[in-house]
Structure 1
Amino acid sequence: MMNTKIAKAPSASNKSKVIKKTSISSDARPGWRAASVAAILGGLLAGCSTTPQPQPLPEAKPTETRHDEAPRQRAVLLRERARWVEADWSELPGWGADRASELWPALLRGCARPAEAWAEVCAQAKAGAAPADDAQTSLWLMQHLRPYRVETHQGEAQGLITGYFEPMLDATRRPQANFQVPVHAAPADLMQRRPYFTRQQIESDVALRARLKAHELAFLEDPLDLLVLQIQGSGRLRVSDASGRTQWVRMAFAGHNDHPYQSIGKALIERGELRPGEASWPGIRDWLRRNPALAKELLWSNPRYVFFREEPLPDPAIGPRGAQGVALTPGRSIAVDRASIPYGTPVWLDATEPLSNQPLRKLAMAQDTGSAIVGAVRADYFWGWGGEAEAQAGRMKQPLRLWALWPVGAM
């Protein structure tokens, strides 16, 4: 979910707390890093030198070791809602098999607004030529970054990944025929009245609707489409004017009414109307089609209401801006809890795809946030736009493990 998607997460420092104790340095285990890298990348790094290790905190469960060596103690970096445990590259499931070069454009976009710890690494990334292929990209990351397993403060390393997308909808500039559902810009008094009016009040109070008339940007055909647009936080509208001419524009997040988000899918499950596996967007649309008299009641059960601003769409290949302030990249950008993972951090995902159940093991950039994205091991995967993206995002709710890739020597 884009920054766009909902309110910004609370600000959290990009600096983490490192607790130090005596540890075995990398020199005490010669070649351990180079050996694992060589196995992954076909010997590409066999001749590279080993990067010195920071002073670490011993992990509660040390890794397995040979009988002739002591357990390697691991550094732990503490963040507000997560702890990061130092890992070896060989521990990342599927590392080396991803199309790593696809991350590079997303990484450079993130470097346009880097976190403090990323200044030096981003300078090197922008100064040099892009890596030639996937192996060279993996090599560059391994030379500049160190992986950390992300887990809760209690040591739980499994979490949840969901998906989001950018809806593509038809709209009109003025209300006409079946297009009667307004998309609103933020009213002038939005920040003065907190919380603002609820969804039900905005849509049913005659005097309030009259006040908001000046803030109508476009009109949709289906109230559920408006809710989807508001949940995703951004969308592409093909707007028709009175002459019949059409233009693609983007509706970007501009604020919300400060009421809590309530899932209508969850509401239908709790009422016994749908089973958990049926509460996808297609399932909800089907239920609404069969129960039109109950549509308003269901939609009003979610009091949150999102306002937008209209933006041009000069390049349809560019995604919306996320909370980091940079364009999102389909399949390579995720929303995270900023108190667990700072914006601009590359991560390694270990999950499965929702439709095929095939492994989803790949690099992504933490570039967005969302009010429902809270916790250490929690991510929202940006699928892009169009029908396939909607189908994947609407069904994604998979177990997740992830590793943060952090600059060597940075805290």
Structure 2
Amino acid sequence: MIRSLGGILLALSLWVAPALGEEPVTQLLSFDDLDGWASDDHGAALSAFLETCGDMRGPDWQSLCSVAKDQTANPRAFFELFFRPVLITDGADPLFTGYFEPELDASTRQSGRFRYPLYRMPKEARASGPWLTRRQIEESNQMTGRGLEIAYVDDPVELFFLQIQGSGRLRMTDGRMMRVGYGGANGHTYRSIGQELVRRGIFESHQVSAQVIRNWVRNNPVDGPELLRHNPSYVFFREVRGVPANKGPLGAMNRSITPMRSIAVDPAWVTLGSPVWVEKEGAMPMRRLMIAQDTGSAIKGAQRADVFVGTGDDAGRLAGEMKDSGRMIVLMPIQRAFASLTEDPAG
């Protein structure tokens, strides 16, 4: 996956999911109830749907996937004919955040500039139970001399954010572009450094963003690295081959995800691969059909989603600013839609 280990705000935001004490409520809607439905680019949504629908389980999904391949001439009619919109709520406030695929400068050789390694996961870290903490990994020699280095980057702060995202692209000094993905973790629970900055009284909660944290760490050469070590969790990587440079990173369904058309959801509420209508508010309002193709450890609840914004610094800035309200409506195959009114919506 671009392992939305939460996406950038997933890991950094101060939002905490409320207790889900209420019974889930499902409501069958019509397409006329979807704000902006008629003006969306349904063809773009269909292309994203086709990326993963062949891997969905169930004869109804497989049949729909086969039909979808012949619907490029009228994609809106395809969705309206074979699906019904279902609003699922669980008592928690809706929340939309964003995540992205970082790009870092890197080299296969360590040098004065490229000093910070991306490691493969060592065998002993795969044993059950937490392994070394972030501090222990960085300050000990447990990783050196073992050929575990995939590449070296020139910015420890960007490396930290790459670990939060779980995958990214490396611009190598020889001109190649290398894609890396999540290869495992050390087993320690993530601690939010954004929350820690608020706890210390350095920032108010509304001031914290990815860029604010970057700037603070870089402007504090002693306290900055120590702040990063407040998070004991450490992510290892693997090189991802076979994904063309013009396609997005792999999501939870092990297929490329699409900028502004793929979202990370809670699979306990939304079947992966499902079309989802998103009505998002905020500085970048959104009314569009998206596809649930990823997951994230902080994406929990019926009305919680992480929007995949894209690749690179501009996408990172947009993702880092996204923390908005709205609503999401799942498009279900007709029989599933009616069954959801009396059954577990993700069943």
Contact 1:330/1:384 (CA < 8 Å) preserved in 2?
A: yes
Q: Using the alignment, how far apart are the partners of 2:243 and 2:118 within structure 1?
A: 21
What secondary structure, in the 3-state scheme, does the structure 2 residue paired with 1:209 have? coil
Deviation at 1:224, TM superposition (A): 1.1
Query: 1:329 is matched with which residue: 258, 262, 265?
Result: 258
Deviation at 1:343, TM superposition (A): 0.5
Deviation at 1:81, TM superposition (A): 8.9
Mapping of 1:46-85 within 5 angstroms?
Answer: 82-85=24-27
What is the one-letter code of the residue matched to 2:162? L
What is the one-letter code of the residue matched to 2:46? W
1:320 aligns with 2:249: yes
What secondary structure, in the 3-state scheme, does the structure 2 residue paired with 1:214 have? coil
| Residue of structure 2 equivalent to 1:380 | 306
Query: 2:230 is matched with which residue: 301, 307, 318?
Result: 301
Query: 2:84 is matched with which residue: 146, 161, 171?
Result: 146
Contact 2:169/2:179 (CA < 8 Å) preserved in 1?
A: yes
Query: What percent of counterpart residues are identical?
Result: 39
Find the structure with the greater CA-based Rg: 1
When the two structures are aligned, how many residues end up with a matched partner?
A: 321
Contact 1:82/1:339 (CA < 8 Å) preserved in 2?
A: no
Q: Using the alignment, how far apart are the partners of 1:340 and 1:281 within structure 2?
A: 28
Contact 2:153/2:159 (CA < 8 Å) preserved in 1?
A: yes
1:119 aligns with 2:62: yes
| Residue of structure 2 equivalent to 1:230 | 163
Contact 2:274/2:330 (CA < 8 Å) preserved in 1?
A: yes
What secondary structure, in the 3-state scheme, does the structure 1 residue paired with 2:55 have? coil
Query: 1:91 is matched with which residue: 33, 36, 51?
Result: 33
What secondary structure, in the 3-state scheme, does the structure 2 residue paired with 1:102 have? helix
| Residue of structure 1 equivalent to 2:106 | 171
What secondary structure, in the 3-state scheme, does the structure 1 residue paired with 2:176 have? strand
Q: Using the alignment, how far apart are the partners of 2:241 and 2:262 within structure 1?
A: 22
| Residue of structure 2 equivalent to 1:65 | none
TM-score between the two structures when normalised by the length of structure 1: 0.74
Contact 1:5/1:253 (CA < 8 Å) preserved in 2?
A: no
**Could you list the runs of 5+ residues in structure 1 that have no partner in the other structure?**
8-79
| Residue of structure 1 equivalent to 2:47 | 105
Spell out, residue by residue over 1:304-329, the C-alpha distance to the aligned partner (whole angstroms, 9 max, x if none).
11111112476322011111111100
What secondary structure, in the 3-state scheme, does the structure 2 residue paired with 1:190 have? helix
1:203 aligns with 2:132: no
Contact 2:54/2:62 (CA < 8 Å) preserved in 1?
A: no
Q: Using the alignment, how far apart are the partners of 1:295 and 1:282 within structure 2?
A: 14
1:311 aligns with 2:246: no
Deviation at 1:4, TM superposition (A): 2.2
Backbone CA RMSD of aligned residues = 2.0
What is the one-letter code of the residue matched to 2:158? D
What secondary structure, in the 3-state scheme, does the structure 1 residue paired with 2:95 have? strand
| Residue of structure 2 equivalent to 1:274 | 203
Deviation at 1:109, TM superposition (A): 0.7
**How has the CA–CA distance of structure 1 residues 3 and 386 changed in structure 2, closer, same or farther, with 3 Å as cutoff?**
closer
Q: Using the alignment, how far apart are the partners of 1:333 and 1:224 within structure 2?
A: 27
Compare relative contact order (CA 8 Å, sep 6+) and give the higher one, 1 or 2.
2
**Could you list the runs of 5+ residues in structure 2 that have no partner in the other structure?**
7-21, 340-347
**After the TM superposition, which segments of 4 or more aligned residues of structure 1 sit over 6 Å from their partners?**
none
Deviation at 1:140, TM superposition (A): 1.3
Deviation at 1:198, TM superposition (A): 1.5
1:398 aligns with 2:324: yes
What secondary structure, in the 3-state scheme, does the structure 2 residue paired with 1:383 have? strand
